Structures are given as C-alpha cells and as structure tokens.
Amino acid sequence: HQPYMNRGQKTLLVLIGLTAAPFILAQLAFMYYRDGPDMSSMNKGTFVKPEATIEALRLEALPGPTLPERKWRLMLYRPANCDQVCRQNEQRARAMPTLVGREGSRGAVALIVEDERTAAPTGKEDEPPLPRFRAGAALPGIRDGLLLIDPHGNVVLWYDAERIGAPLLSDLRFLLKNSSIG
C-alpha cells in the first residue's frame, strides 16, 4: 500500500497555497469592498460639499486678537442675537483645544460674526477674547454651526449646533492624532 502523496509533494502544495493565498484574499477583498469603507460613519461632522477653502468665505478680520496661520481652525458662526445655546456653543468651541489634550496647541478657535457692534465677546472676564471675522460670502447650505478648517485652508467638516461638543471633540482628537499637518 503506497501513500497518496509523498512528503515532497505535500511540501510543494503547502508552498503553492501559501504563495497564492494573499492574491486570492486580495481579489476577494477587492470584489466585496470595492467602494471602500463608508467614511460618513467615521466622522461626526458633515463633509463640506462642494469642496471649499477659507478664501471662499471672504473673511474680514475685525479688531482684536488674530487667528494663527497653519493650525487647524474651528470657526464658529455667531449670530448678532446670541441666545443661551449660542453662548454654550461658544464656550464648548473655546474649550476644544484644551479638551483635545497635548495636540490641542495645533488648533485655534475664532468667531464668524454677523454684526461687529452687537457681537461682543461672550467669554468670561478671565478668558481672552477670540479672534472675530465678518464673512463676505457664505458656503452653500451653511449659515450657522461650526466649520473645521485644516492648516492648508480647506474647509473640511461642518457641525450644526447640536453636534458642537462631544461629536466635534471626537473628530478633532482623531484628526489631530492621525494628521501630520498643523
């Protein structure tokens, strides 16, 4: 009685299988995941479409502190008649760089105000005022909330008033951890 395969033949089949397996797995992955992961479920903010840059807002700096260049920027829309929710969102946005932790120095917060005269800073007495800007143009579909702008000036994500807080913090931590810019 002779064995079905000798030892050399078994070794050859194992080597062929080990060589072919990565190619077969790659082909299967390509067939089933062709479109890639659903990026919309990874972030809490809304991607700004069509793509825009900070220049599209035609911002005019108002007197006061200036916004540092080459940092991740959180730009909060602040209406002239800022209610309690508006003031809370301003405080949340102001706290983001601190809450992010050691990467927080890579971010800066500013306000986009409707009216320079009525949009006085709402910070506490011991808090420095935030840089303020008046927008000469609006992005399609965005009139309020907060914009996340990368250090190159690309408007990346938009957060409505309900998502300024933990959802924004989650995205900001992820971006700063995984980004080498800014």
User: Residue 103 and residue 82: Cα distance in Å, rounded?
Assistant: 30
Structure confidence by residue, pLDDT tens digits, 79-91: 888 889 999 999 9
CA-nearest of 83, 84, 146 to 111 is 146
Q: Is the pLDDT assigned to residue 154 strictly greater than 60?
A: yes
Buried b / exposed e over 32-44, threshold 16 CB at 10 Å, is: eeeeeeeeeeebb
Kindly report the average pLDDT of the chain as a whole number: 85
Check residue 177 and give its pLDDT. Answer: 87
Split at pLDDT 50, 70, 90, the class of 127 is confident
Question: What does DSSP say about strands 107-113 and 132-135: parallel, antiparallel, or unpaired?
Answer: parallel
Long-range contacts of 165-168 (CB under 8 A, 24+ apart): 165/89, 165/92, 167/44, 167/45, 168/44, 168/45, 168/74, 168/92, 168/93, 168/96
Could you give the maximum distance between any two Cα atoms of the chain, in Å? 100
